[in-house]
Amino acid sequence: MNKRIVAVAGALVLIIGGALFASFALRGSEAPGADSSSTAAQPSASAGAGSYVEYSAVAISEAEGRTFLFFHAPWCSQCGEIEKDIVAEGVPEGVSIVKVDYDSHQDLRQKYGVTLQTTFVEVDSDGKKLNSHVAYDDPRLQAVLDEMI
């Protein structure tokens, strides 16, 4: 009976260990920056052009050029359309877009008076609101830029 328990335990260790190894090996084979859980590209800085980055405590102060906060919700289809457009078209030189999670940052929504996802808020380097635009009806980056620049 003891040999049976040892054999079963050993088999479980091998199965679990193999599964973990395979999981890590597959993650390492993906292209850098790829996210297999989503088909949409994640924000990242673009060399030689403008930038599109996730919000962080220093994102606004480190942004270069005109800075826009993009209040994005993962469940919002218009937000997804705008993000696809940003990734496909790129961010123009001299513009930084900081993606802010609409659901997680109620403090920023309150600070900037944002009541609807797809809102873009232009801020200065100190985070002071300069301008805003809701891109709900026309979810394209160019429409936002035409309205705000």
The structure's pTM equals: 0.68
Fold of the domain spanning 44-148:
Glutaredoxin (3.40.30)
Asked if 49 and 91 count as a contact pair (C-beta separation under 8 A), the reply is yes
* Mean pLDDT for all residues in the chain: 79
Please give the DSSP secondary-structure letter assigned to residue 35.
Answer: -
pLDDT at residue 52 in the model: 96
Number of H helices and number of E strands within the chain?
Answer: 5, 6
Q: Evaluate if residue 84 carries a pLDDT over 70.
A: yes
Chain centre to alpha carbon of residue 57? 15
pLDDT of residue 29: 37
What pLDDT is stored for residue 115 in this prediction? 96
Grade residue 54 by pLDDT with cuts at 50, 70 and 90: very high
Q: Would you kindly state where each structural domain of the chain is located, as residue ranges?
A: 1-34, 44-148
In the chain, DSSP assigns E strands to: 44-45, 51-54, 66-72, 95-101, 119-123, 129-134
Inform me whether the pLDDT recorded for 120 exceeds 80.
yes
pLDDT (tens digit, 9 = 90+) per residue, 2-44? 666 655 555 444 455 444 444 444 444 333 333 333 334 445 5
